[in-house]
Amino acid sequence: MTYSSLIFASVILPLSVLFLFFDRSSEYKNLCLCITSFLFVTWGHHLLAGALFVTLIVDYLFALAVEGSLKRDKSRAVTFLILDLLVNAAVLVFIAHNDVFPEESGLLINKMFLPVGAAFYALKNFAYVYDVYSGRCKAERSPFYFITFGMSYPFMLAGPAVRYSEIAPQLRERKLTAALMSRGVKSFALGFIKSVIAVPAFNSIAEAGIYAEHAAGLGSVIGMLAKFSAVWFTFTGMSDMGTGIACMNGFDVPLNYTRLNSKLMLGGAVRCYNTSMIELFKDIRGDSAATPVWTVVLAVCGAAFYSPKPMSLIVGLITGIILAGEYLFAYDRIERIPSPVKAIVTAVIGFFLFSPLAFNDFPEWLFWITGIAVSNENSSETNAAVFELVKNNMLIIIIFLAAVSPIGELVKNAADKLSQRSAGHYTAVKVTEAVLTAAALAISFILLAANTAAV
């Protein structure tokens, strides 16, 4: 089950939020959250749920062991930390990257869980044990509070991978205010719209441009750009929905991404995506003479977070080397480079660096790149198919790409300034925003219901 599943968005989520109003205590809210999380995870996937509960027990016990060992023998604490990392990594491979098993194996779990979702679960719970080791927080003694933290489904599919030190006070005391509920509903609606409207549109263009029988110059490039857009809107959509659900459960948490920018070139672009993981890696990396080496190591780990395939690890290695180079060059020097130059250089590097991730191996990517450079008479078919899809989805492309560009920021700032002029302007802006969101949300539900019925 995912946040954009019809049964979740139309039945489970509304009911779970409704039940929260029956009691104001945080203990009751945690109980409702645990029940909904259990239902979300175990929906037809008992083997998956069992694996996740095993890691919960391991993380809970290892955190206590790490805290106890720090007072007597730090090397033993390091051993427990490494063991916890290995357990979480093993479960991650088993659940998310289960294509390592043959198709006839009973251990193969097909489409049970988003790979990145399982990765976020493992990352969040390992970060808790690491924070206990680093002294950022104390080990949780209460199994109930730890289960609430570990199994909370709002943080499971696309983060944020909340740190226990930040969320612990809210587990024990939080209020579901009207402002928090409004923010939650708005955030969930935005993410739902991205997932149901934007992602399929960009994916269809990507399929036509990247995986066509004959690569074509412009058509294939547009297809790859559409692939990047689909990945971005998939992740940010899931993050929007997760943050929205968290707010509807009384938690005040940030989004797991920021607006795309190239202020620090590739380093700045990377930091916009999965910010909670980046912050954890920055804590682990520190700032010392070994920072460039740690940057490369953690970049490879970050690549493995998404996929353990060789192509992904190679891309992670190259990314780490570039980021280490930027770090050594000094970011203050990079900031002095003209913005248009940084944007162009970052876009070109990003295209050639991350486009291999759309293919199974390097030769396949090289064949695609060669096909772009050396077009033939068959390439016109690919171009025609891509251009037709672009024309059919032009309105969607313009709206969503404008929203993540500086144009979107300008429109948002203009609306904010207009709403501050008077109470009437404020009402008009908010009503317009609500009507447009409601209309897009209604269209999303209709499309989702039609697609679900078709399947």
Work out the pLDDT band at 112, boundaries 50, 70, 90: very low
C-alpha dihedral (19, 47, 360, 266), degrees to nearest 10: 40
Q: Are 226 and 209 in contact (CB under 8 A)?
A: yes
Report which of residues 307 and 322 the model is more confident about.
322
Average pLDDT (18-46) is: 81
The more confidently predicted of residues 89 and 112 is: 89
Please provide the average confidence, as pLDDT, over all residues in the chain.
81
Q: How confident is the model at residue 115 (pLDDT cuts 50, 70, 90)?
A: very low
pLDDT in tens, 339-384: 788 888 888 888 888 888 888 888 888 888 887 777 666 677 778 8
Check if the beta carbon of residue 290 is closer than 8 Å to that of residue 272. Answer: no
| Average pLDDT of the segment spanning 5-13 | 85
Quote the pLDDT of residue 71. 80
Say if 442 falls within a structural domain. no
Question: What percent of the chain has a predicted confidence (pLDDT) above 90?
Answer: 8
Same domain, 190 and 156: no
Question: In this structure, are 113 and 193 located in the same domain?
Answer: no
Structure tokens of 395?
């309105």
Question: Which of residues 362, 382, 402 is at a domain's end?
Answer: 382
pLDDT at 72 over 70: yes
Share of the chain above pLDDT 70, in %: 87
Contact by Cβ (8 Å): 162, 120: no
**Where a domain ends, among 325, 348, 382?**
382
Looking at the structure, do residues 218 and 139 belong to the same domain, yes or no?
no
Amino acid symbol at 430: K
- Report if residue 271 sits inside a domain: yes
Give the pLDDT confidence of 118-137 residue by residue, as tens digits: 667 777 888 888 889 988 88
- Please give the pLDDT value at position 339: 79
Within this chain, do residues 165 and 204 fall inside the same structural domain, yes or no?
Answer: no
Q: How confident is the model at residue 273 (pLDDT cuts 50, 70, 90)?
A: confident
Given a cut of 70, whether residue 199 has pLDDT beyond it is: yes
**pLDDT higher than 50, residue 113:** no
Q: What is the pLDDT of residue 454?
A: 74
Q: Report whether pLDDT(105) > 60.
A: no
Residue 142 included in any domain: yes
Query: ∠8-12-17 over CA atoms, to 5°?
Result: 125
- C-alpha distance from residue 277 to each of 135, 165, 210 (Å): 19, 15, 29
In the predicted structure, residue 50 carries a pLDDT above the cut 50: yes
Same domain, 160 and 104: yes
Check pLDDT > 50 for residue 306: yes
pLDDT at 110 over 50: no
Name the least confident of 43-52, 157-166, 340-349, 404-413.
43-52
Residues 146 and 205 in one domain: no
Position 279 scores a pLDDT of 78
The pLDDT assigned to 103 comes to 45
Query: Roughly what angle, to the nearest 10 degrees, separates helices 26-42 and 164-172?
Result: 120
Same domain, 125 and 165: yes
302 in the same domain as 232: yes
Domain count, the chain: 2
Assess whether pLDDT exceeds 50 at residue 114.
Answer: no
Comparing 381 with 59, the larger pLDDT belongs to: 59
Task: Please check whether residue 402 lies inside any domain of the structure.
Answer: no
What residue numbers bound the domain in which 32 lies?
25-174
- pLDDT higher than threshold 70 for residue 88: yes
Peptide linkage before 310 cis (omega within 30 of 0): no
Give the separation between CA 60 and CA 123, rounded to whole angstroms. 14
